[in-house]
Amino acid sequence: MKTLIATALILASSTAFASTASFTNDSCNANISGGIKITPTTIEFSKSKQPLYKIVNNERLYVNGVQVDLTQSQQSLVNDYSIGIRAAVPQVKRIALDAIDIASDGVNLAFNELLGQDNTLSAEITSQLSEIRKEVDQGFTSDSDIYFDEDGFSGENFFNEDFEQRIESAVEKTVQNSIGSLMIAVGQEMLFSGGDMDAFETRMEDFGEKMENVMESRGEQIQKSSEALCQSVVDIDALEDRLTDEITELKDFNMLTTTVLAKDRKDLM
C-alpha cells in the first residue's frame, strides 16, 4: 500500500512540478517590490496598494497621475516594456496548464495500473484537476484583469505554494475517500501474486520507475518553457533598468529584480 501511495502522489504530483520549481527557486528568481495590475488597456504599478505609474495602450506613460512627455527613444522603451510584460502572462499560463496535465496523466497511469481502465478513482481525480485547469485557463486571458505582487497572483493564488498544494490536495482527498476500493485492489493483487508481498511491491516499484521516466520525459517541455519564461523576465528587468535610467520621473522606481545563476544565464543567452 505504501508503494502505491508513493507512486500515485510523489511521482504523479511532485514530478509534474519539478521543472516549475527549478525555474522558481534555482534557475531564475524574480522579486517584485510592489503590485502590478494588467488589464486589457493598462498596466499599473503600485506600492502598498497606492498607484505609482501606469502605461496605457502600450504607449502613454503616467506617473502619479500625470502624463509624461516622451522622446522617440523613450517611447520605444515604454512600448517594449509594456508588450514584454503582456507577453509573459501566456507563458506562465502555459506552464501551469502543462503541469496540471502532467499531474493528471501521471495519476491516471498509476491508478489504471492497479484498478484497471475507467475506474472511478481516476475519473474523480481527473474531474477535480480539470476544474483547477479550467480556472487557470479562464483566469488568464487577454480580456481578464490580472494582479500580482510580492505574495503572488491575486484571486485563486494559482502560482504560489498554494497552487501545488491544491493539486496534491485533490489527489489526497480522492485517495482517502476511495481507500476501500484501494484495499480491495491490493488484496486482489496479492492473490494474483500468490500472497507474495515482496513480488507485489517489486512489480509496483518497476511500474513506478517506468512512470517516472514517462513523467520526466513529459516534464522536459515544461523545463524548456520555464527557461523561455526566465529569459523573458530577465529581458523585462533589463528594460525596466533602462526606463529608470532614461526617464527622470521613473528614477526612484525599481519594481522587478531578477537573479539568474551564471550557468543558467549562459544557457539562456
Q: What is the pLDDT of residues 32-63, one digit of tens each?
A: 888 899 999 999 999 888 899 999 999 999 99
Question: What's the pLDDT score for residue 101?
Answer: 86
Cα of 31 vs its chain's centroid, Å: 16
* Domain span at 150: 2-250
- Does 121 reside within a domain? yes
pTM for the model: 0.73
pLDDT at 149: 75
What's the confidence (pLDDT) of residue 188? Answer: 61
For residues 224-235, average pLDDT: 87
Question: Quick check: is 266 in a domain?
Answer: no
Q: What does the chain come to in residues? A: 269
Assess contact for 269 and 121: CB atoms under 8 A: no
Gap between the Cα atoms of 65 and 206, Å rounded: 63
Q: What is the mean pLDDT of the chain?
A: 75
Q: What is the pLDDT of residue 131?
A: 84
Q: Phi first, then psi: what are they for 205, rounded to 5°?
A: -65, -40
User: Is the model's pLDDT at 136 over the cut of 70?
Assistant: yes
Is residue 255 situated within a structural domain? no
Instruction: Answer yes or no: is 226 within a domain.
Output: yes
How confident is the model at residue 139, as a pLDDT?
Answer: 77
Instruction: Please report whether residue 256 resides in a domain.
Output: no
Return the pLDDT at 73: 96
Spatial contact of 227 and 268, defined as CB atoms under 8 Å apart? yes
Let me know if residue 124 belongs to a domain. yes
67 DSSP β-pair partners: 62
Pairing of β 42-47 and β 50-56? antiparallel
The continuous run of DSSP H or E covering 257 comes out as: strand 256-260
Over residues 66-98, the pLDDT tens digits come to 999 999 999 999 999 999 999 998 988 888 888
Domain annotation covers residue 72: yes
126 or 250: which leads in pLDDT:
250
80 domain-assigned? yes
* Lowest mean pLDDT, pick from 84-98, 187-201, 225-239: 187-201
- Indicate the number of domains in the chain: 1
d(CA 126, CA 60): 45
